[in-house]
Every structure is written in C-alpha cells, then in structure tokens.
Amino acid sequence: MADGVDVRIHALSKHFKQVRAVDNLTFDVPPGTVTGFLGPNGSGKTTTLRMLLGLVRPTAGSALIGGRAYADLPDPRRTVGAVLETAGFHPGRRGRDHLRIVAQAARIPQRRVDEVLGEVGLDDAADRRVGGYSLGMRQRLALAGALLGEGGGRPRLLVLDEPSNGLDPGGMAWLRDLITAKAAAGHTVVISSHVLAEVSRIADHIVIVRDGRLRYAGPAAAMTKTLEETFADATS
C-alpha cells in the first residue's frame, strides 16, 4: 500500500492585530494515519487548517502538504479533500447540482457525483434543495464534496474540521467507519475536534493545541495525561 500524503507544520504563526491565534506551531502528521487535531474552542485549530489549505496567509512559518504549499500543488482538489466548519451552500440549489458545480470547477468527472452521494448516504436526498437539509445532511454533503477528487488509487489528504457536528449517534458511528476505511486505504486523515472521546476512538496520532500553542504531538496511546491537563477547566 502506498503511503499517504504527509503534512508538515513548521514555526507557523498567525496574528490578528494583537491576538496571536496561532503561535509558533510545529508538528508533523504521519502519512497514512488518522491524526486527531484537538483543543478547546478558540485554540487555533481552524486557523491552522485554513492556513494549511491556503485560505489564510501565515504571519510566519509554513504549512506544507507533500512538501509543497497548497497553492503550489499541481492538482490540489485531487490531492486534498476538505470539510471546513464554515462550509456554505446555496440554499436553493439541489444537493446533486452543488456537487456537479464543484466537480466541474475542479475538472473532476461528473460520474463521481453519484458515487460520492452514495458513499455519504445522500442518494435519496440528492434532488432536494439544500435549504431543506438538516445540519447533519449538510455535513454529509460537505464530506461528499471532499471525496469527489478520489480516484485512480492515489492516496490523498482529507482535512475534516468538526465533521461530526450535527450528526446523530448513528451518523457518528458511520463517520468513524468511513474515516477508518480511508486511512486503511492509504489516505492521510486530519480530523479537528473539541469532542475528545469521539476522536480518541479512531486516531492513531494526536496533536493537541491550546491558546495557539502546541501542547502535545505523538501517538494516541501516550497522550492521556497531557489531554487531561490541557482541557482542565477549559470550556468546550
């Protein structure tokens, strides 16, 4: 099995005026694993992922995917699939049409639309308008968009920011199985969350941040003590 895509965060910082959202952050994401990116709300997780995906310019440092910045990847939508917490959809557009537009913009074959709709369990809702979707259904649609670029047996990077938001217990179990299967197929998965118990059930590797600074990076089995200290008295 080919290794997945590696991620390297080095001395990464982002300052918004006087606020240091991310402060000299350095860690690696092992390829072909599920890495849990954990921290309380406001700890800098989403800002870090947005810098990794080229949506926010770092104040300092670098965030590299396979040794390159996202903007320098030769075919970024086929290399990286992402679900961001703030993913938005046109409420009057049907789910299938949303994915068709995404696929066309990324030069991805239209046949992938029905394939990913089936993979995320939205077959029956594909022709409904997104404005009528529940939060959990919108999360599934966002995940379908992230999966569009798969194909050809090439390992990819999946970046998932709070992907279980809005999912019921059955949906969360389905998501765990999907993520585990993607890692088993050679993909690298980064899943950001403040729901510790949920991520710790599937993660091989853990990165913990608080106040924009690294608190722990290493195997999931060794992180229990650090996890308890990091989240002590923190509101989630």
- 220 near 203, Cβ under 8 Å? yes
Residues 6+ apart with CB under 8 A from 192: 37, 38, 45, 46, 49, 159, 160, 161, 162
Give the pair of three-digit tokens for residue 12: 């990464």
Q: Which domains does the chain have, with CATH numbers?
A: 7-87+156-231 (3.40.50.300)
Give the pair of three-digit tokens for residue 108: 């991805």
Q: What are the tens digits of pLDDT across the range 43-92?
A: 999 999 999 999 999 999 999 999 999 999 988 988 999 998 655 788 89
Give the pair of three-digit tokens for residue 179: 């993520």
Residues 6+ apart with CB under 8 A from 224: none
For residue 17, report the phi and psi dihedrals to the nearest 5 degrees.
55, -115
Give the pair of three-digit tokens for residue 224: 């229990």
Q: What is the mean pLDDT of each run of 10 residues along the chain (236 residues)?
A: 79 94 96 93 94 97 96 91 78 94 91 94 95 92 92 80 88 92 93 83 93 93 66 52
